[in-house]
Structure 1
Amino acid sequence: MSDKPQYHPALTVTNIKNFIPIVLETDKSQYTTWSELFKIHCRAYEVIDHIIPAEANSSQSATTDASTTQQQTPSWSRLDSIVLQWIYGTISPGLLTTVLVKDSTAATAWERLRTIF
């Protein structure tokens, strides 16, 4: 058995714009494309449950992982902050000021954007 620490795949993303090259803006009809790219990225990096709760996400199988059950552990909070940074990093400044609220979660920001579009 290895004593090497295991890192969550989401911690390896250094530049979200390499994966999601679209900047979501209010005046363009690109929400569907942006959201699909974002969901694919979140599935690939095992954080889809941060934007779509596990019970609503039928494409994910149930696991006992803390992030899937959305327990507010330090690890879950860190991953949620990373996903929130991904969202904020791929939207226009105008949308950012619209969806940015104190102590938000990725799911809250995701839902705010969905409501706008």
Structure 2
Amino acid sequence: MTTFDKIYTVTSISHLIPVKLDLSKLNYGHWKKLFTTHYSGFDVLKFILGPSTGEEKATDEWAKADAVVLTWIFNIISEPLLEPVLNSELTTSNDAWVFLETLFKDNKLSKTMELNAELKGLEIRDQTVKEYF
């Protein structure tokens, strides 16, 4: 029995994590919480956070298990996000994790500015207060 046997028992986790990561929904915080909680249970956070030693990453066993974890990531992101992830030069689940985290962190400021501008442009006109809010 190998260290990673538990990983190989699950081919897809989309039914276990009810939220697909979606840039238009800005749901990274919820997705990350569900994702890391689930991954803690499978003891695979070391894959998305990166191996503790170079020797660990160099093993065939690590590479095979990491490929499964990377596939899990592919299964729980929206199609619009999947395209840039697949087109980038990601080779590990850690690469994908960092790519997605960076994408969402970089998007926060621009989305905040966009929403602030939209809010400033709102006018009540003939709407009720309830409709306005």
Percent sequence identity is 33
3-state SS in 2 of match to 1:16: coil
Q: Does 1:83 align with 2:80?
A: no
Distance 1:75 1:99, change over 3 A: same
Distance 1:113 1:33, change over 3 A: same
Q: Offset of 1:102 from its aligned partner? A: 4.4
Bigger shift: 95-104 or 23-32? 95-104
Q: Offset of 1:85 from its aligned partner? A: 0.4
What's the counterpart of residue 80 of structure 2?
Answer: 94
Please report the RMSD computed on the Cα atoms of aligned residues, expressed in angstroms: 2.2
Consecutive unaligned residues in structure 2, runs of 5 or more: 105-133
Q: d(CA) in 2 for partners of 1:10 and 1:77?
A: 12
What's the counterpart of residue 17 of structure 2?
Answer: 20
3-state SS in 2 of match to 1:9: helix
Q: Does 1:105 align with 2:92?
A: yes
Consecutive unaligned residues in structure 1, runs of 5 or more: 56-65
* Aligned pairs, number: 102
Over 3 Å off, 4+ runs: none
After superposition, the C-alpha distances for 1:16-39 in whole angstroms (9 at most, x for unaligned) are 112112111110021111111111
* TM-score, normalised via structure 1 length: 0.76
